[in-house]
Amino acid sequence: MAFRDRYTGLINRYRDHLPVSDDTRIISLGEGNTPLIRLKNIPKLLGKDVDIYVKYEGLNPTGSFKDRGMTMAVTKAVEEGSNAIICASTGNTSAAAAAYAARAGITAFVLIPEGKIAMGKLAQAMMYGAVTIQIRGNFDEGMELVKQVALQAPVTIVNSVNPYRLQGQKTAAFEIVEELGRAPDYHCLPVGNAGNITAHWIGYCEYSAQKGTRVTESCAFCDGNCRYAGGPIVGNRPVMIGYQAAGSAPFVRGEAVKNPETVATAIRIGNPQSWDRAWKVKEESGGWFDELSDEEILAAQKLLAQREGIFCEPASAASIGGAMRDIKTGRIPEGSTIVCTLTGNGLKDPDTAIKQCGDSRMMTIDANISSVKDAILGNM
């Protein structure tokens, strides 16, 4: 590959589709361009004729899909002269905000629920040098505080209420369409604030809109930042399915959840910020929301690791766990092509992984050859 073709992140890759100009200083860590992996063993286990792909977003620079949105949000914050960004987070947004702020040379303030974010994410926020503010409260309370303080202090919010976040995140849909040659029939995602499911829908709509169509009116999703506004659609678009954790499932309940609780701390969110947009995505795409118990989420995480060699964090496993259930029941019919987004890397949450592997094939032995031989022969 020639040097000029070196991959330099999603803004450079998709700059024609993003709100940047030639003069914009781009803050990038080479995010995007993540693998779309075709599952080999799980479809066989299901005994169904389906094509399942996982989009492994855990391979982004800070280990989650948040990097796609954060490269845009921080690029625009810097362009607009901001010296500080702020977010509330269940962990991954704070990791990404901290990293991109470090890259840009600005300050990141992150509000996280004390004791309720995975250890890897906490390590990231601290290591990248964010001002890490633990609150005695949950994500939803942190989000309200961030909105209030941003009115009173010169800080730019980089939660997904910042429209540039969704613009960056829509590029995941572009990559999928380019790789498959068309959009999948179904796209499954874990849902917390519902920014990502909205961003994917923006991406699919924009990509399937008639080539050469430049729409001037803004669409319902993107505050005038995208090129799609309900123009003629020529390509196919997927049915969008959002899965939540049962203890934290406002879209299944039809209303905000007061004290959300789940092992999948990334999606421990009771008052989603993209509430109206997500309902519109469901309606326009003909999709649905559903919930999984913590046990189902952890079982799916383990199955994906042990049958396919892919380690995602618990929240991410809601997508594949939900898809497997809907394939089994036939709600997702045979013959379908399905993409599940694996939003975050399994290494983010080592504690939960180790805890649920109590029955694993780990042992401790004396350091001699006969013990090693016994260990091997006993496990063949």
- Applying CB under 6 A, the residues found at the interface with ligand AN7 are 64, 89-93, 160, 190-196, 266-267, 313, 315-316, 343-344
Torsion angle (degrees, nearest 10) of CA 366, 368, 373, 378: -10
Minimum CB separation of residue 130 from ligand AN7 in Å reads 13
Residue 303 tokens read as 């199955």
Minimum CB separation of residue 281 from ligand AN7 in Å reads 11
Angle among Cα 170, 30, 273 to the nearest 5 degrees reads: 35
Residue 205 tokens read as 């709509």
Nearer to ligand AN7 by Cβ, of 267 and 320: the residue is 267
Minimum CB separation of residue 123 from ligand AN7 in Å reads 15
Which H/E stretch holds residue 256?
none
Minimum CB separation of residue 316 from ligand AN7 in Å reads 5
CA–CA separation, 113 vs 285, rounded Å? 34
Minimum CB separation of residue 305 from ligand AN7 in Å reads 15
Nearer to ligand AN7 by Cβ, of 270 and 344: the residue is 344
As a whole number of Å, the end-to-end CA separation of the chain is 44
Nearer to ligand AN7 by Cβ, of 313 and 326: the residue is 313
Residue indicated by tokens 């303030």: 109
Minimum CB separation of residue 140 from ligand AN7 in Å reads 11
Nearer to ligand AN7 by Cβ, of 160 and 162: the residue is 160
Provide the β-strand partners of residue 51: 337
Nearer to ligand AN7 by Cβ, of 48 and 140: the residue is 140
Considering only CA atoms, which of 52, 72, 70, 74 is closest in space to residue 61?
A: 70
Minimum CB separation of residue 99 from ligand AN7 in Å reads 13
CA–CA separation, 245 vs 298, rounded Å? 11
Considering only CA atoms, which of 283, 281, 285, 289 is closest in space to residue 255?
A: 289
Nearer to ligand AN7 by Cβ, of 92 and 132: the residue is 92
CA–CA separation, 176 vs 181, rounded Å? 8
CA–CA separation, 297 vs 320, rounded Å? 9
Nearer to ligand AN7 by Cβ, of 231 and 266: the residue is 266
User: How many residues does the structure list for the chain?
Assistant: 380
Minimum CB separation of residue 92 from ligand AN7 in Å reads 3
The dihedral built from the CA positions of residue 40, 46, 48 and 52, taken in this order, carries a sign that is: negative
Residue indicated by tokens 């209303």: 255
CA–CA separation, 244 vs 290, rounded Å? 6
Nearer to ligand AN7 by Cβ, of 336 and 345: the residue is 345
CA–CA separation, 363 vs 161, rounded Å? 47
Nearer to ligand AN7 by Cβ, of 201 and 207: the residue is 201
Minimum CB separation of residue 29 from ligand AN7 in Å reads 17
The sheet with strand 107-113 has its strands ordered as 131-135, 107-113, 84-88, 156-157
